[in-house]
Structure 1
Amino acid sequence: MEAGIDTSHVIISDGGNTTFVHIIIDKQTKTRTCILTPGDPPIVPSDLPMSSLSAALQDVSLLYLDGYSPQMALVVAKQADQMKIPILVDAEQERTKEELEGLLSLASYIVCSGKFPKNWTSIPSLPCALLEILVQYPRVKFVIATLGEKGCMMLERSEGGDGAVEDTADIEVVAESLKLELHKDDVLPSCVSSKFMGVSARGLGTVFGRLLIGTAEVIPASELVDTTGCGDAFIGAVLHSLSAEMPAEKMLPFASQVEMQQKTVASVFLG
């Protein structure tokens, strides 16, 4: 409470334990191993009355969900949808289709790992897989795939919708042309964008929007400290950017810069 965080809706179970993770960092390989201890007993929808949930969401302008505790996440998402609150879903690779399907159908924004689009759609081409996700989920305004040191790729739907499209291009051709425009010698993260147009792929349909590719700063091994929480840092920056109404071409370099800063500091864990 001293930090200004409202804990009035926190549910406490006598004799239970909070979810926690042990993270083992290998200093030589710069890799990590996460050992998860789930909360017990697990939270279930009946633990949270609708009145309490509505009250908790009353002043929320943007909801973030990562699919953890899928049943509860879907209940919260449905209530937020009724209250017209936009939802950003972190589509983690570990979640199953059954766990994520309902969330993605309610999502306004999706952020995922580079492997997720291919595994979700069975389409090997990343640009085409992103296109298929926007086709599958017409409510989604954008989907971002993070690619580590290779930056990120984003497909953004135009606010104007998918009406009559006169200027249409193959999304893979658009992606290749953008890659040629990247300023690979730039020290700081940068971003290139196509114009708004119809992007399509054979057999997948057409979406009116634009494709963006962002770069990431390559950190020398001697400066890399800890990659724990880098994805969370990137998504946190995206959430801030949305709240600040930052345009996508500024949001992607900003998020990559925040992620880079996370890699060069040691994470601190208490407990």
Structure 2
Amino acid sequence: MHQPPQVAVEQKVVGVGSCGLDYLAQVASFPKPDDKLRTENLQTQGGGNCANALTAASRLGLRPLLVTKIGDDAVGDGILKELENDGVNTDFVLRAKGSPSPFTYIIVDREGGTRTCIHTPAAPLAADDLSASRIGEALSGAALVYFDGRLAEAALQVAKAARSAGIPILVEAERLRPGLNELLAHADYVVTSTRFPKAWTGEESLGDALLSTFQRLPHVRWMVTTLGAQGSVFLEHVDALQEKDSIPTAKLDDVLKHLSATVRDHTENSTDDSPACSAASGAEIRVGHSAATEGPMFLQWTRDESTLSEVRQRADAAAAAAAVSNADSASASQYNRTGSTAKGADQLPVAKVIVASAARIAKEAIVDTTGAGDAFIGTMLYAICNGMPPEESLRLAAVVAATKCTAVGARTGLPHRDALCAHIL
């Protein structure tokens, strides 16, 4: 079993991306148009994918540094103070003079167990805001760099510097964004949301979407797709050192179905009731289960021209819709510039596949899912820095994400390292 190093846990990680303030209103049920209703719980706390993930990483023991831009207002002062109190280095958080800080309105639906976000961005972090020397200073001593897909121009500039310095890169692909394709080309590790692979590729089934995405990321070491309460799927590139005929071939949808059934069977017949973490609310979180393919395999994925045409049309439609939802129609072509690509059977990837369940937690203990994905990514940063095997990484990330869900907001429920049981670290 993996033994956590005593030194690596304190390694420096750099995050480039979003940071802001969240206004969270918890309600009994999501309002219908023109409805009026009262909040059950109202909170204000820091937010932003990158800042949330770095907070999770800091509470686990890493030394995170944030590169972003906020306003020079009182809201920005509060954002910085909260991050600094959580051990996040804010020396590279720029302040836009005369501009407000970014913020997000979040409606937390107790009945549906969902959250709905309305974001107001601030002045973007431009490429010329960061000199080469400042980027070098930020990256100095870093073990890993994380990008949440925002601040595309500056992010790409930092990614190129990190690549030149030999620093590994993790990119989050939550949704279609301008410049994300270029950023993904530099990634060593990729974490996607459930919806991203289908939107990016235009594929309809999960297996086809994951495999199409995986094929377009030939240089990544691994890719994880989070599936919310359904767990996660992990794909790891494997060098094909054997003869092709000796490596099994399979359709990914069939592999996922088999592994998911195995995970469910393990979960339903589990006799392990020892908690992996006790949340501040008193809720106990227990580890989930995972199942993996036995060794590498060629993953089947072929398309004829007729099917490819339909796939590309769906990808183009998703890109256009993403541009509209972000009030960015002028940049629609940048949301999905490359379309969906299919390669011949001789170019199919060789991969190891793991399906992991979510952590086990009582349904009534789940309060708010805001930031669960950020908690997952923050934990994967910790896992990479500590050389944790995939199954253990996914298990720990699921526990941290579930613990976060026991409180309102993206950060309140994030566990500190000493709240986690030693056997999962």
State the match for 2:113 in structure 1. 30
Q: Provide the rounded CA distance (Å) in 2 between the counterparts of 1:200 and 1:113.
A: 21
Q: Contact 2:376 / 2:398 at 8 angstroms: preserved in 1?
A: yes
Q: 1:53 aligns with which of 130, 135, 140?
A: 135
Summarize the alignment of residues 97-246 of structure 1 with structure 2, pairs less than 5 Å apart.
98-158=178-238, 160=239, 164-165=243-244, 166-170=246-250, 171-182=252-263, 183-185=266-268, 186=270, 188-203=287-302, 204=343, 205-217=347-359, 219-246=361-388
Q: Contact 2:260 / 2:355 at 8 angstroms: preserved in 1?
A: yes
Shift of 1:149: 1.1
Q: For each residue in 1:193-236, what CA deviation from the matched residue of structure 2 results, as whole angstroms up to 9, or x when unmatched?
A: 11232322142542222100001145444222111111101111
Bigger radius of gyration among the two: 2
Change (3 A) 1:136 1:30: closer
Shift of 1:177: 2.6
State the match for 2:94 in structure 1. 11
Q: Which amino acid aligns with 1:16?
A: S
Bigger RCO of structures 1 and 2 (CA < 8 A, at least 6 apart): 2
Q: For each residue in 1:57-96, what CA deviation from the matched residue of structure 2 results, as whole angstroms up to 9, or x when unmatched?
A: 1111111101111112111111111111111111012x23
Normalising by structure 1, report the TM-score. 0.89
| Ranges in structure 1 where 5+ consecutive residues have no aligned partner | none
Percent identity over the alignment? 33
Q: Which amino acid aligns with 2:90?
A: T
Q: Contact 2:144 / 2:169 at 8 angstroms: preserved in 1?
A: yes
Q: Provide the rounded CA distance (Å) in 1 between the counterparts of 2:131 and 2:389.
A: 37
Shift of 1:5: 4.3
Q: Provide the rounded CA distance (Å) in 1 between the counterparts of 2:93 and 2:254.
A: 49
Change (3 A) 1:85 1:179: same
State the match for 1:259 in structure 2. 401
Q: Provide the rounded CA distance (Å) in 2 between the counterparts of 1:23 and 1:134.
A: 32
Q: Look up the SS of the partner of 2:96 in the other structure.
A: coil
Change (3 A) 1:256 1:269: closer
Q: Provide the rounded CA distance (Å) in 2 between the counterparts of 1:269 and 1:144.
A: 22
State the match for 2:170 in structure 1. 88
Q: Which amino acid aligns with 2:288?
A: P
Change (3 A) 1:269 1:233: closer
Q: Look up the SS of the partner of 2:149 in the other structure.
A: coil
Q: Which amino acid aligns with 1:60?
A: A
| Ranges in structure 2 where 5+ consecutive residues have no aligned partner | 1-83, 271-285, 303-342, 413-425
Q: Provide the rounded CA distance (Å) in 2 between the counterparts of 1:220 and 1:20.
A: 31
Summarize the alignment of residues 66-85 of structure 1 with structure 2, pairs less than 5 Å apart.
66-85=148-167
Q: Contact 2:247 / 2:297 at 8 angstroms: preserved in 1?
A: yes
Q: CA RMSD in A?
A: 2.3
Q: Which amino acid aligns with 2:120?
A: T
Q: Provide the rounded CA distance (Å) in 1 between the counterparts of 2:364 and 2:158.
A: 43
Q: Which amino acid aligns with 2:131?
A: P
Question: How many residues matched?
Answer: 266
